[in-house]
Structure 1
Amino acid sequence: MKRHLLLFSVLLMLSPLMWTGCKQEEPNPSLLEYLESDARLSSFRELMALTQLDTTLNGSFFYTLLAPDNDAFAAFLAAHSYGSLSEVPMDSLRAIAIYHIQIGWIERSEFTTNYYTTPAPGLDNQPLALYVQNDDGEIVLNNVAKMAPISLTARDGQIHLLDGVMTPPTLLDLLSFAPRFETMYEGMLAAGYADTLAEAQEITLFAVRNEEFAAYLNEVGADSLGEFTRPEQRDLLGYHIMDEFKTYRDMELMAPAQSFPTMNPDRDVISILNSIGTILLNDRGRLLLLDIHGTNGVMHLVDRVLEIP
């Protein structure tokens, strides 16, 4: 009898160990379950529900949510004089919601400094751009939304918490986001093209980096664009805004050489040469970074300041 009791006692002592060894870890919550349970994200959950995008987050695909917290939404509503998310026009609300979703599983470490596409549609349903600035792990999106250092990992994606709400960007916004375009951005403001880049529709901006502007200024014997007269600023900078909406694909498919009007005061034309896959502007400027889409047009990076012929 003692032997049997001892054996039974040993089995009782071993049982918890055996159960522990066989126990499977609980799966992470889904994206929707996180949104429903995390009090910081109740406003983002409401945004998904109001726009009916919550039905998209059904676990069938991986998504990455760029989720502003409740304080961010409160600041957004106050800045735009809305009392609640339900007061925001549905078209605007849906555009904001889609802009905060990325398709696929994107870890925080993958957000490096650059422009990226989003699922949000712009002109001709082209994907609107998002700008990421990553300075030694401090990540800021579109200059308005700082990403929290710790993200939430769901079984069907990632949630990166933000302290700001992003709105779909104009070309003026996209130019302002990147420090590499600071010279051109400040020049556009000084020359009076802010409204053009923010409001004019179906335009193309040829953006030039700071180093190319520095080389140009050195060539003409100036230290800054501030040394130019206002008419000279408008002539030069307006020449980088084309009064046509042209994606890289559009330029690839066009005839070998065509000219289009720019938005400087004299409406000087810019020549686009398509030569076996190479796009040249005025026979010199090469496109480096393509199809950065805003709500009112597209931006391409060009490797030099474009001079009026």
Structure 2
Amino acid sequence: MKTNRLKQFALIAFMALGLTACSDDDNNNAQPDNTIAGIASRTTNLSSLVAALNRAELTGVLSGSGNFTVFAPTNDAFAAFLSANGFADVNAVPVPVLRNLLLNHVIGTEIASSAIPPAVYVSTLSPINSTTGAPTISMFVQKIGTTVTINGGASNGGTTVATADIDASNGVIHVVNNVIAIPTVVNHVVANPQFDTLQAVVTSGATGAFGDQSAVLAALNGLTAAAPATVFAPDNAAFTAATTGTGFAVGATPAQVSRVLQYHVTVAGNVRSNQLTNNQSIPMITNPVQNTTVILGSGTVDIRDTANNLARVNQADVQCSNGVIHGVNRVLQPQL
């Protein structure tokens, strides 16, 4: 009997050791979390991002299924953001503010750096308000050589990619050296080189070629999420045509230039292209108010001015925090 008990004890001990060994093997063979959230949690220089994701309750999104592109700010980038905005740490940032800011760094598709064209607008996951189905903020991505710049770079509230193409099971991470601010109308005008002339006109000083347009700039800077505007933004070629040769704005006085600029901003709020209707009359912020007219074609949107000219919308729905921009190929002509 004693011998049998010893055999039974030895057998139990052996089985216990075997189970322990199997458990250890299972732990050793466990696959690492290669989701975006998992990789970030193992990257020392992204610990502030991880803390921010946890506070904003977004870790689950970036550790789940899907295909995302995340522009991930470094710890130094977060430290600079917190200092500039008077926050002691990530926990001091209000959760709604932090959540929208972080979502402004996320795109709902996977985009490798090699797939980025010279210039493109993409939609982030950051909504403009809490309304169900609200439009999301646009991001302007530009690539020159191997350098990828977001929203015009750090000086314009954007950033530059420092380390590209960290592959994850649910997307890709591009490490960036600045926290990306949610862009305003003015930010998006500055970011896109196709609006360089518009920027030059709006920022023209008293001694500039277009006279002092500071009042127009102040009006654009004064737009808010609660009181947004829609801007029809002429590209560089459009301004060249209007201000040279037989262009209607040749020789315009500063006051007339102001009226031309005002004639590209509607008081109707944040009007996206799918909200425009054929023959819709849109009041602009000229004083007195002058209207433009929407002309819808088969897949086209044109804006008719007071001189019966048509400006084609060639870049629709650039969504900003305080309004939306529609790029057009002609400077709209008001009654001067």
TM class by smaller structure: 0.7 to 0.9
Q: CA deviation at 1:29?
A: 2.6
Q: Output one character per residue of 1:58-105: Cα deviation in whole Å (capped at 9) or x when no partner.
A: 332222211010111111112112211222222221110111111232
The 5 Å alignment of 1:255-266 reads: 256-266=278-288
Please say if residues 56 and 96 of structure 2, whose CA atoms lie closer than 8 Å, have aligned partners that are also in contact. no
Change (3 A) 1:278 1:101: closer
CA distance in structure 2 between the aligned counterparts of 1:306 and 1:42, rounded to whole angstroms? 49
Tell me the SS of whatever aligns to 2:48: helix
**Aligned equivalent of 2:122, options 105, 116, 127:** 116
CA distance in structure 2 between the aligned counterparts of 1:181 and 1:134, rounded to whole angstroms? 17
Q: Output one character per residue of 1:107-155: Cα deviation in whole Å (capped at 9) or x when no partner.
A: 1122221211111112661121001111111111012211024431122
**Aligned equivalent of 2:172, options 143, 152, 158:** 158
Please say if residues 107 and 122 of structure 2, whose CA atoms lie closer than 8 Å, have aligned partners that are also in contact. no
Q: CA deviation at 1:46?
A: 1.0
CA distance in structure 1 between the aligned counterparts of 2:144 and 2:245, rounded to whole angstroms? 32
AA of the residue aligned to 1:128: I
The 5 Å alignment of 1:1-309 reads: 29-112=34-117, 113-122=119-128, 125-143=134-152, 144=154, 145-190=159-204, 191=213, 192-200=215-223, 201-220=227-246, 228-244=252-268, 245-251=270-276, 254=277, 256-275=278-297, 277-282=299-304, 283=308, 284-309=310-335
Q: CA deviation at 1:237?
A: 0.6
Q: CA deviation at 1:186?
A: 2.2
AA of the residue aligned to 1:134: K
CA distance in structure 1 between the aligned counterparts of 2:166 and 2:144, rounded to whole angstroms? 21
Q: Output one character per residue of 1:243-280: Cα deviation in whole Å (capped at 9) or x when no partner.
A: 113211111xx2x3232221133322212223455432
CA distance in structure 2 between the aligned counterparts of 1:249 and 1:306, rounded to whole angstroms? 21
RMSD between superposed Cα atoms in Å = 2.4
Change (3 A) 1:52 1:27: closer
AA of the residue aligned to 1:158: V
Q: CA deviation at 1:289?
A: 1.2
Please say if residues 198 and 296 of structure 1, whose CA atoms lie closer than 8 Å, have aligned partners that are also in contact. no
Please say if residues 171 and 297 of structure 1, whose CA atoms lie closer than 8 Å, have aligned partners that are also in contact. yes
Deviates more, 1:170-179 or 1:228-237: 228-237
Gaps of 5+ in 1: 1-23
CA distance in structure 2 between the aligned counterparts of 1:27 and 1:74, rounded to whole angstroms? 29
Q: CA deviation at 1:195?
A: 3.1
Q: CA deviation at 1:176?
A: 0.8
Gaps of 5+ in 2: 1-28, 205-212
Q: TM-score, normalised by structure 2?
A: 0.77
Identity among equivalent pairs (%): 25
CA distance in structure 2 between the aligned counterparts of 1:212 and 1:140, rounded to whole angstroms? 25
Q: Output one character per residue of 1:136-178: Cα deviation in whole Å (capped at 9) or x when no partner.
A: 1111101221102443112222110000111211111111101
CA distance in structure 2 between the aligned counterparts of 1:32 and 1:271, rounded to whole angstroms? 48
CA distance in structure 1 between the aligned counterparts of 2:93 and 2:301, rounded to whole angstroms? 42
Change (3 A) 1:221 1:33: closer
CA distance in structure 2 between the aligned counterparts of 1:236 and 1:45, rounded to whole angstroms? 47
Please say if residues 162 and 174 of structure 2, whose CA atoms lie closer than 8 Å, have aligned partners that are also in contact. yes
CA distance in structure 1 between the aligned counterparts of 2:113 and 2:149, rounded to whole angstroms? 11
| Matched positions, count | 281
Please say if residues 44 and 67 of structure 1, whose CA atoms lie closer than 8 Å, have aligned partners that are also in contact. yes
CA distance in structure 1 between the aligned counterparts of 2:175 and 2:274, rounded to whole angstroms? 35
Deviates more, 1:167-176 or 1:256-265: 256-265
CA distance in structure 2 between the aligned counterparts of 1:209 and 1:182, rounded to whole angstroms? 8
Please say if residues 28 and 153 of structure 1, whose CA atoms lie closer than 8 Å, have aligned partners that are also in contact. no
